Chain A
Amino acid sequence: MDRKDKLFVLNEMCEMKNCNKCIYFEGKKKQDLYMWISNVPRGPSAKFLVENVHTMLELKMTGNSLKGSRPILSFDKAFDRAAHHTLLKELFIQIFGTPAYHPKSQPFFDRVMSFSIADGRIYIRNYQIVEDNATLAEMGPRYVLNPIRIFEGSFGGPTLYQNPQYVSPNEHRRAIARKIGQKYKGKLDQKMARELRPDLPSYPSDPLDDVFTTAQSEEAS
C-alpha cells in the first residue's frame, strides 16, 4: 500500500484476502501511532491514537500464554453507558475475539484481554490466567487507545462520533513548546514595559530643598 493511497484501498485489499475485520496501524512523523479498526464491508470503523505502548518484549511482563489461545474479553461497566462506547465494545469483541474452533487457536483458556475506560481513554491490558482462582500475570502488550472519531462506513463515511477531549499530538507538542517560549517572551515584555514606564519619583521630595544651591556651589562640590 502506498503512503499516498486513500484508506479506502484497504477495503479492497480486505475483500481480496477474504477478511471482514481489519486493524490498520498508521505511523506518523516517526513518533505518533494511529490505529484504525474496522468492520470491513459496511462499517463502522474507528480511529484511535495509540499512547503509552509497552510491548511483550519488556521483561517486567512476566506472563506467557499459548500462542493463539482464545482470550476472554473483559469489559469495564462504563462501556454500557455511552452509545459510542457500546459500539466500540461490539467492535472490539468482533475484532479481538478469536472465533471458536479456529484452526490456529488452542483449546485452552489461559489469557484475558481487559478493556477499561479511564480519563476518556480505553486502557488495554493482557493477562495470563495463572491459576483458576483468578491469579493473573501481566503478559503484555499494554497500551492506551485515545478515540478520535467513529465513522459509519469502513475507513470513511459520515462521522458518528467525535471525541471532544481529543488533542492531537501535534497540538500537544505545540502547547509545550509555547509554554517554554513564553518564558523568553515574558522576559522581553518585562524589559519593554520597564522602558515605557514613566520615570516617576520614587519618594516625595521638597522642591524647595535646592533653592540655595547655586551654580557655583555645585561646581565647588
Chain B
Amino acid sequence: MDEREDDSEYDSDTELQRAYADGRLKAGLNIEARPPRSFINNVAGMKQKLEEFQRTDLSWFERLDVTAAPISSASEEVVDVEDEFKRELLFYRQAQAAVLIALPKLSQLGLSTKRPEDYFAEMAKSDSHMVKVRAKLQERQQALERSLKAKKLRELKKYGKKVQQEVLQKRQKEKREMLDAVKKYRKGKIEKLDFLNDINEKKTKSAQPKANKRRDWKNQKFGFGGQKKRSKRNTKESTSSSTSSMKKKDNVTGDQFIV
C-alpha cells in the first residue's frame, strides 16, 4: 500500500518536473487547480414540473396572488440590500402596489375588504400583546419628545447667556444714573432725595424676611448657627462661674479638708 502511494507520489513528481522543463510550470508556489463546480439548473425540467403541478383550474379568488412592481418607482432601481431602511421601504411599496391591485378586484367580486366594527373574532396577536406594543410605541414617542425638549433647552441656554449680559448692563446703567444723581444732589442741583426712595423701595421688597414661626421657634430651642464644637470645654469662664456643678463638688471636698 505504502509503496504504491510512494509510486504515485514519484509519478506526480516526475510529471511536475517534466511540466517545468516544458515551461508549463513556473517557479514558486503552485497550487493544484480544481475543476470548477458545476451547478444543476434544469430549466426544461422545472418548466415541465411547473406545468404538471400548476393549478390552472383555480380562479384568481382562490389563489389571491398579485405580481407587481413597487409603486412610485419608474424604473427598476437596484437597491442596496445592506441598507435596511431603503430595502424595507421597497418591500413596503411592493406590498402597497399589490394591495392597490387586489382590493379593487375583491370589491368587484362583491367582497368586503374591511372588517366591520362589531365583528369580533380571534386576532393573530393577543390583546395583552397589543397593549405591550402600544406601550412601547408610546414610550418611544415620549423619548423622542424628551430629546426634543432637551435640545430646545440647550438652545434656550445659549440664548439665556445673551439675556444675562443684557441684565448686567442694565444694572450698571442704573448704578451709573444713581451715582450721577448723588453727584447732582451734592452740588445742589437737586433738592429732593426722591431717587433714593426708589431704590430703598426696591431693596425692601427683595429683602423681605420670610416669616416662618415654626422654624424660628425651633432655632430658639435647639440653637442655630455658630460653633457647637467647643461649647462644653473647661475654660476660665466655666470654672469661675458659680452655676457649674464641678465647682460645687470642689467646694464640698474643700469643706471636708477644713474639718
Q: How many angstroms between the C-alpha atoms of A152 and B47 in the bound complex? A: 11
Partner of B114, one of A39, A90, A132: A132
B104 → chain A closest CB, angstroms: 9
Q: Is the CB of A163 within 8 A of B53?
A: no
A169 on the B face (CB < 8 A): no
Stretch from B116-124, B169-177, B236-244, B247-255 forming part of the interface with A: B116-124
Q: Report if A76-B52 is in contact (Cβ < 8 Å); known contacts: A56-B125, A112-B99.
A: no
The answer to whether residues A44 and B94 also contact, given A71-B64, A99-B62 and a CB cut-off of 8 A, is no
Q: Which of B8-16, B126-134, B205-213 lies at the binding interface?
A: B126-134
Interface flag for B95 (CB, 8 Å): yes
> Complex: how many Å from CA A97 to CA B62?
8
Q: Does A219 sit within 8 A of B, measured CB to CB?
A: no
**In the assembled complex, how far is the CB of residue A80 from the closest CB belonging to chain B, in whole angstroms?**
6
B203 on the interface (CB 8 Å rule)?
no
A contact residues around B129 at 8 Å (CB) = 57
Interface size of A by CB at 8 A reads 64
Name the segment of B84-92, B149-157, B186-194 touching the other chain.
B84-92
Q: Name the CB-closest residue of B to A166.
A: B39
- In whole angstroms, how far apart are the Cα atoms of A135 and B39 in the complex? 42
Chain A 142-176 interface mask (CB, 8 Å, partner B; 1/0)? 00000000101000001111111000000000000
What chain A residues lie within 8 Å of B96 (beta carbons)? 134, 136
Which size class do B's interface residues fall under? 35 or more
Cβ of B69 within 8 Å of any chain A Cβ, yes or no, is: yes
Q: Mark A100-123, 1 if CB is under 8 A from B, else 0.
A: 100000111110101010110001
Residues facing A in B70-107 (CB within 8 A) are 76, 79, 81, 87-88, 90-92, 94-100, 102-103, 106
Shortest CB distance B136–A (Å): 4
Interface residues of A in 45-84 (CB under 8 A from B): 56-57, 59-62, 64-68, 70-77, 79-80, 83-84
Interface pair B125/A139, CB less than 8 Å apart = yes
- Are A129 and B113 in contact, CB atoms less than 8 angstroms apart? yes
Interface membership of A36, Cβ < 8 A = no
- Give the docked Cα–Cα distance between A161 and B41 (Å): 4
The docked-state distance in angstroms from the alpha carbon of A88 to that of B11 is 50
Contacts between chains A and B (CB distance < 8 A), count: 179
- Within the complex, which residue of A79, A112, A127 is in contact with B67, where a contact is CB–CB below 8 Å? A79
Contact A77 B121 (CB under 8 A): no
Knowing A87-B50, A116-B91, A132-B114, the reply to whether A77 touches B124 (Cβ < 8 A) is: no
Verify A97–B64 contact, CB threshold 8 A.
yes
B114 to chain A minimum Cβ distance, whole angstroms, is 7
Q: Cβ of A90 and Cβ of B98 under 8 Å apart? A: no
Residues in B whose Cβ lies below 8 Å from that of A77: 67-69, 76
A-side interface residues toward B, CB under 8 Å? 39, 42-44, 56-57, 59-62, 64-68, 70-77, 79-80, 83-84, 86-87, 89-90, 93-94, 97, 99-100, 106-110, 112, 114, 116, 118-119, 123, 125, 127, 129, 132, 134, 136, 138-139, 150, 152, 158-164
Query: Which B residues contact A (CB, under 8 angstroms)?
Result: 37, 39-43, 45-47, 49-50, 52-55, 61-69, 76, 79, 81, 87-88, 90-92, 94-100, 102-103, 106, 111-115, 119, 121-125, 129-130, 132-133, 136-137
Since A116-B94, A118-B87, A136-B95 are in contact, a sample of 15 more A-B pairs with Cβ atoms closer than 8 Å, ordered by chain A residue number, is A66-B123, A71-B64, A74-B65, A75-B98, A87-B50, A93-B65, A97-B64, A108-B112, A114-B91, A118-B81, A134-B99, A134-B100, A161-B40, A161-B46, A162-B39
10 examples of A-B residue contacts, CB within 8 angstroms: A42-B52, A44-B49, A62-B133, A72-B98, A93-B65, A97-B62, A112-B102, A138-B92, A158-B45, A161-B46
3 nearest A-B residue pairs (beta carbon): A74-B98, A114-B95, A164-B39
